[in-house]
Structure 1
Amino acid sequence: MSAQEERPVEIIGGFESTFMPAHNRDIFETTEHDVRWREDLALLSKSGITRLRYPVRWHRIEEVEGSYDWSSTDEVMGYLQQHGFRPIVDLVHHTSYPAWLTDGFADARFGPAYLRYAEAFARRYPWVGEYTLFNEPFSTLFLCGHEAIWPPYHSGLQGFVDLVVNVMPAVAEASRLYRELLPDARHVWVDTCEFHTGSDASGQRYADMANDRRFLVIDAFLGRGYDVESQLGRDLAPVGGERLLSLPTGSIDVLGLDYYAHCQWNFSEAGGTAPTPTPLPLADQVQQYWERYGLPCMLTETNVRGHTSDRATWLKYVLEQCEEAQRRGVLMDGVCWFPVVDSTDWNSLLFRCEGHVDPVGVYWLDEDLERRASVMSTSYALAAGGARSADLPAYVLAEPVATWLQGYRPQMAHWDWQQPPSTDLGSRLPRTTTRMELRIVDAK
């Protein structure tokens, strides 16, 4: 076994901050991370973790066009630097752009404004070692431009392509700019890790197209293009898809893959559902991306909505799969459970802003938003300390996660299962039955 294969996969932290322009609130505020960030970082440090994905709140830094207020960012960034944290800074996380960009990612001002902000950040914090220029460009622009879930609420392939063409040239230019301003730092591209199946001929045709579509934005960013003769290519033709073939190109150092059970859909004549009943093992998916791009890979987001014992079990699964990918020769640069504390309002995909606590964090939030430890935070700290997946417990899954993950059970059949300890309050949380509102336009 090589030294790379023997090395434990590094565990990484992360905090959720998405801005909801329609409500003028972000998840830092609804979870009180904006005032409890020292406490939250102390929890991370207590777990033995110093490397973390951390967002920069452009929507609060530039609330007035052309006027930057770095005071809060200076405070947090200074604390991170002084206390030995290694942030992977996240410049735009989903719809976290200033509210004065009234058309969001369709706004003609987006590109110039984003570039001014990106340059100002790099010049202000030249010590940053890793950065994400735009979080999940495929899925973000898909939800904004194809699914009409987030502003500017465009729908269909035309809307999606229009947003890609408006946004990605600026991201590519920022990539080239950061090569000059931060020559020793690494660009961590982050997007969803997808794979889809079909249960009839119609569904399989759509799944094949979707399996091509998942690479569309990153391929455009790298100048790889797409197969114009494929089903995806034929679908793109009438909406000006050829524009994607001539976009400015950028560079990537690490390929970040965000993986959830709902990243694998199954399609049929009746539509699409997630997760597929026959999920591809995560290691196989990571290997697909590795073989396609040859870039070091990082699992940049994962979680499962459920009791804390369910989350500990899912952590065991994803870590085991990343260890397997590493054994196959994939350069695995880390695993990030996202987020460290429970998030809010993802049950409605941020359409509503109700402070609805999403049961997904390493630490769970009680009714007063106090951070609470559990078997999940114990497993997380063990993994951060170098424990392998085989050393982590597998807890019997509770409903609805047991049904939700039924297709994964064959991949977990070799585990020794145990009941969650009766003293673990996080295994008896309310709201764990709440489902995310998932949908796909034109999935038939």
Structure 2
Amino acid sequence: MRIFARNLLTEHGFRPNQILTVEGGVLRRIAAGRDSEADHIFDLVLPGFINTHSHAFQWAFAGQAEYRTRPDDSFWSWRQAMYEAANGMSAEQLGRLARQLYARMLEAGYSWVAEFHYVHHQEDTTPYSDPAHIGHILIEAAQSVGIGICLLPVLYQYSGFGRQAPLPEQRRFISDDGLYGEILGSLRARWQGQPGVVIGMAPHSLRAVDVERLPQQLEAWHQPGMPIHIHIAEQPLEVEACVQHYGHRPVALLSQHCPIDETWTLVHATHLDASEMASIVRAGAIVSLCPTTEANLGDGVFQLSEYDQLGGHWSIGSDSHVCLNPAEELRWLEYGQRLRSNRRCVYASEQQPNVAVRLVLEAIRSGRQSLGLPTALWPSDHLCDFVAFDGMDWRKDTRPEQALSQWLFSGRPVQPAAVFANGLWRVWEGKHIERPHLDNEWQRLC
């Protein structure tokens, strides 16, 4: 199969009139060519977007917690609604919900998702006979609609710093070391090496694990190249509690105890000081930013300009799924920095003055690193992922960089025309190829 891209986004910007040759779902080569030589023709072709932070179950109540329950409503009061959603859902309901969610991610242009999975146990909080039962269901949901998935089974053991006992509403998430090892072992035995699947691991947060034991736990379970994700420094109260208990801020504390490197992704990292920021950059780790969720929860605004000046890398995630649009995440990211700095085009650079191009390139490249995928945007001899746009209402003299900017910043409801993920067409004419069946399932789920 030969795909003609009038404009193809590469590491060095857009290239005109390129043909992607795909054989058996695998990208074999990219070369200049003519549209007459191709099987399919698109105006604008980008690598697939990577969603580096997802809690599938939270989509069940996205947008339903937008009323004030107390004068100081915050992340911590929202968390109670989250617990209710997590504890009121069966494994089968979660699987059906995830299937719908992942299909919509594909329609938005995401080709891979990192699922930060901590709803491990039955509704009565006892483990399943296979303690990875729900993890398997989530991977099956992703496979059934065609999105690549990095499943991150979460280690969740405490309710707060100093090994505080879990709250009753957290019991469905809790695993001791033995049970967590069984979860990882079951997932690896079934899925490791399967196309479109990566198995990582995720200490939930420094609140939920014992940082002094974490190095030994990682040594027991981690494998070379395996992604490690952790929530960290999302809320000021979390930072204050960490300093009060340990005398150190969260990222500084983590760096003292664990050998952070390029396999790590620090989720949110909203509240950092300069030394913590520098330590992340030195380690080569990724920060997963979730701008629409962070705005929804009132978390704060990440210090992107300062982080960028140090050479830091970041990715995007939809997290609680109040938004499933990568363009929206990137727009909010840039606009947050404009509001902080009273400047425009904050993420532009001398090397890449177009903000949209630089945002998209960084989100995809670092997103791939976060999931343990090849970081090249177009890795040859791998299953191919791309997002294609057509009919974007361009003027004849519109450059591709301007078209990408329009998609990112104009708010026009432009959906990808097609998405090719993990070697197969998944979205065509803006709709998932199983959309009628998915719609019928959705009616039954609702």
**TM-score band, normalised by the shorter chain?**
0.3 to 0.5
* More relative contact order, 1 or 2 (CA 8 Å, 6+ apart): 2
TM-score, reference length from structure 1:
0.42
Report the structure, 1 or 2, having the larger strand content: 2
TM-score, reference length from structure 2:
0.42
